C-alpha cells in the first residue's frame, strides 16, 4: 500500500564517494515498509519524484534509512537537506521481496547503489535465523559502503571492478567460492542482473529492477519491461520493483 507521507530528516552523511546515507523519521513507513519497497521522494523544483530504495527500518524509533548517489541536480538538492527539514513522499511503494519460508540459506548479490535494499532484506532474514551470504560489487575502493554491516549478517565478499579493494572483477567472479544456497536475491545494474540470472539459472531467485522510472504510480509507461508470459509487459513501479528471476526478460 502506498500513501502520501511526510518524512522528517534526522541525519545526512557521506558514507562513500558520491554516496549519501540519510535517516528519516516517519512512524507509518518505519512500521509498515517491507524489504525491497521504495520511497518516491518529491524534490522542490523537480516535476518527477525520485524512487529511492529503503535500506533499513527501525520500527522502535520510527526511523527509515535510505542511500542514494549524489549525481544530478535532484539528488544534490536532496543531499543538502538538514536535520529537521521535511520531505514529501509517496510510500512505501512497490512490491517487495518474497520469502517462501522454505529456504535455510540465501545469497544476496548487489551492485553499487542496488545494494541498499538487500541490506534491509538480509537483516530481516538473518533475524529469522536464515543463513545469509552476500556478494557486493563496486566500481572501486572509494565507492565501497556497508561492508561491515553485511559482515554482521554473514559471510560477505566485496568485489571491485578495478581491483582496488577486495576481489577484482564482477560479482560473478566469486560465485565459484560460494557455498550452496537455496534462493538468491539480486539488485543492481541491468547488465549485472543479466549475468547473475544466467549464471544462477538453476536456482530460484528474485531480482529488483530500479532503473527507468517516471511517474512511479503506474500512469506513464516509462518503466515497462517485457515478460515471459506471451509477450506481455509489466510495470516496474507497480508490479515490481521485485520480480522472480524467470518472470521478466532483461
Ligand atoms: Fe510511470 Fe511506472 S514509472 S508507469
What pLDDT does 104 receive? 93
Q: What pLDDT sits at residue 45? A: 87
The conformation of residue 145, written as its DSSP 8-state character, comes to -
Cα-to-centroid distance, 250 and ligand 1 (Å):
17
In which band, very low, low, confident or very high, does the pLDDT at 103 lie, cut at 50, 70 and 90?
confident
Q: How confident is the model at residue 169 (pLDDT cuts 50, 70, 90)?
A: very high
d(CA 160, CA 35): 25
Q: Look-up: residue for cell 540470472?
A: 197
Q: Cell numbers at residue 43, please?
A: 524534490
Which of 215, 233, 239, 240 should be mutated for ligand 1, with most atoms under 8 A from CB?
215
Which range is least confidently modeled, 84-88, 181-185, 216-220? 216-220
Residues with CB under 6 A from ligand 1: 213-216, 218-223, 235, 237
Give the Cα separation of 7 and 29 in Å (integer).
9
Listed range (16-20, 219-223, 238-242) with the worst mean pLDDT:
219-223
Strand (E) positions, 173-223? 183-187, 204-208
CA of 215 to the centre of ligand 1 (A): 5
Nearest atom, ligand 1, residue 218 CA: 4
Cell numbers at 186, concatenated? 539480486
Please list the residues that pair with 25 across neighbouring strands: 8, 63
Tens of pLDDT, residues 116-155: 999 999 999 999 999 999 999 999 999 999 999 999 999 9
pTM: 0.95
Strands (E), the chain: 3-16, 19-25, 38-41, 50-58, 63-69, 86-93, 105-111, 131-138, 156-160, 167-168, 183-187, 204-208, 224-226, 233-235, 242-244
Q: Which of 218, 239, 243 to mutate to test the pocket of ligand 1 (most atoms within 8 A of CB)?
A: 218
Q: Which protein residue has the closest C-alpha to ligand 1 atom 4?
A: 218
User: Residue 221 C-alpha to ligand 1 middle, in angstroms?
Assistant: 5
Q: Which of 219, 239, 241 should be mutated for ligand 1, with most atoms under 8 A from CB?
A: 219
Alpha-carbon distance values, 145 to 13, 36, 130, 217 (Å): 12, 18, 23, 30
What pLDDT, on the 0 to 100 scale, is given for residue 2?
62
- Residue 66: band (very low, low, confident or very high) from pLDDT cuts 50, 70, 90: very high
* 68-81 per-position pLDDT tens digit: 999 889 999 999 99
Stretch 55-66: mean pLDDT: 97
Q: Rounded to an integer, what distance in angstroms lies between the CA atom of residue 144 and that of residue 35?
A: 21
Query: Which ligand 1 atom minimizes the distance to the CA of 216?
Result: 3
CATH architecture of the domain covering 105-210: 3-Layer(aba) Sandwich (3.40)
Name the CATH code of domain 3-93 (choices 2.40.50.140, 2.40.30.10, 3.40.50.10360, 2.40.100.10). Answer: 2.40.30.10
Per the prediction, the chain carries an average pLDDT of 93
Ordered by start, the domain boundaries in the chain are 3-93, 105-210
Amino acid at each position: 500500500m502506498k500513501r502520501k507521507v511526510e518524512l522528517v530528516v534526522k541525519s545526512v552523511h557521506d558514507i562513500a564517494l558520491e554516496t549519501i546515507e540519510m535517516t528519516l523519521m516517519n512512524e507509518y513507513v518505519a512500521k509498515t515498509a517491507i524489504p525491497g519497497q521504495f520511497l518516491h521522494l518529491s524534490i522542490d523544483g523537480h516535476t518527477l519524484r525520485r524512487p529511492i530504495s529503503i535500506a533499513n527500518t527501525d520500527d522502535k524509533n520510527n526511523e527509515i534509512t535510505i542511500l542514494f548517489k549524489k549525481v544530478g541536480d535532484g539528488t544534490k538538492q536532496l543531499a543538502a537537506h538538514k536535520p529537521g527539514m521535511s520531505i514529501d513522499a509517496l510510500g512505501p511503494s512497490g512490491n517487495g521481496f518474497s520469502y517462501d519460508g522454505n529456504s535455510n540459506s540465501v545469497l544476496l548479490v548487489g551492485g553499487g547503489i542496488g545494494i541498499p535494499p538487500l541490506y534491509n532484506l538480509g537483516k530481516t532474514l538473518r533475524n529469522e535465523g536464515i543463513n545469509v551470504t552476500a556478494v557486493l560489487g563496486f566500481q572501486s575502493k572509494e565507492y565501497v559502503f556497508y561492508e561491515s554491516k553485511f559482515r554482521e549478517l554473514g559471510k560477505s565478499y566485496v568485489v571491485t571492478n578495478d581491483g582496488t579493494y577486495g576481489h577484482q572483477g564482477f560479482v560473478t567472479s566469486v560465485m565459484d567460492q560460494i557455498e550452496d544456497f537455496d534462493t538468491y536475491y539480486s539488485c543492481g545494474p541491468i547488465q549485472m542482473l543479466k549475468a547473475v540470472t544466467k549464471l544462477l539459472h538453476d536456482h530460484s531467485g528474485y531480482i529488483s529492477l530500479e532503473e527507468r522510472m517516471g511517474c512511479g504510480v503506474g500512469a506513464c509507461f516509462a518503466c515497462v519491461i517485457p515478460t515471459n508470459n506471451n509477450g506481455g509487459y509489466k510495470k516496474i513501479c507497480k508490479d515490481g520493483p521485485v520480480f522472480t528471476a524467470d518472470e521478466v526478460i532483461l
